[in-house]
Amino acid sequence: MELWKAIILGILQGATEFLPVSSSGHLVLVPWLLGWDESPLVFDVVVHLGTLMAVLTYFWRDWLTLLRAGWTALRTRSTQDPDARLLLLIGLGTVPAALAGALLEGIFESAFSEPALVAVFLLVTALLLTVSERTGSANQSLSALTVRDALAVGVAQAFAIFPGISRSGSTIATGIWRGLPRATAARFSFLLATPIIFGAGFKQALDVVTGDVTVGQDMILPMIAGFTAAAAVGYACIWFLMRLLKERSLYGFAVYCAAFGTMSLLVALLT
């Protein structure tokens, strides 16, 4: 793999993993539109770990607080602490996506080979973002989040396994629909993403190990570049989105998804 391609793919992974525009959709459509070969699985693992590094670095204080609260809750057998309760809700919200990934993996993987379908799913993301902005009430705090709310966001995350359905977009949109302010919905979305990103990266790494994949010397530098680009750009995009959503809506991302999805669909239908 050429170094410049590795950097571009790392930037693409880091930016689209957290901005509500679908990382999987872009990683299917952009190489397809440019005529690039599919990237090696080991490279996919590395850039995925880069985005995990980004979200852990940004939210390390949150996770330290949550894990401490969880440990205390285990010892005292009480979830009265709001942080312990939030950790429990994150765990519950992770279940739908974990089940979907384990039980329906073949269906999801087949979607990656259909650029037209990925383009349609991008249009669905645009619709989700638009509807959430029109129906959200912003009348609930994160401490008031219910089990039903967490499961609703978790189900939205499960649907995001389809390439083109943005994970951050669908979960933020659902959080807004359930009454959370945009920035609060984004925070819950990113915390909820952490176990899923870790799990997906672990599964990919396991596939590499069990698949007897060898890494040539020519892949080491591209892997380092891809990891660094994904981690740095991912962190910057989390920082950017958390601040943007305090004052701005999701309409700009909806317009982008609609435009890119429409263009990609037209190319797919005409070629």
Question: In this predicted structure, what is the pLDDT of residue 245?
Answer: 92
Q: Which of 4-18, 115-129, 153-167, 193-207 has the lowest mean pLDDT?
A: 193-207
Q: What is the mean pLDDT of residues 148-177?
A: 92
Rounded CA separation 161/165 (Å): 7
When computed from its CA atoms, the radius of gyration of the chain, rounded to whole angstroms, is: 18
Question: In this predicted structure, what is the pLDDT of residue 102?
Answer: 73
Rounded CA separation 118/57 (Å): 30
Instruction: State pLDDT tens for residues 47-62.
Output: 888 999 999 999 999 9
Average of per-residue pLDDT values in the chain: 87
Question: In this predicted structure, what is the pLDDT of residue 129?
Answer: 95
Q: What is the mean pLDDT of residues 57-77?
A: 92
Q: What is the mean pLDDT of residues 94-123?
A: 80
Backbone angles phi, psi at 246, to 5 degrees: -70, -25
Q: What is the mean pLDDT of residues 155-167?
A: 89
Q: Where are the domains of the chain?
A: 3-50+90-270
Question: In this predicted structure, what is the pLDDT of residue 216?
Answer: 65
DSSP assignment of 96-149 equals HHHHHHHHSHHHHHHHTT-HHHHHHHHHHHHHHHHHHHHH------GGG--HHH
Instruction: State pLDDT tens for residues 182-213.
Output: 999 999 999 998 988 888 777 767 766 676 55
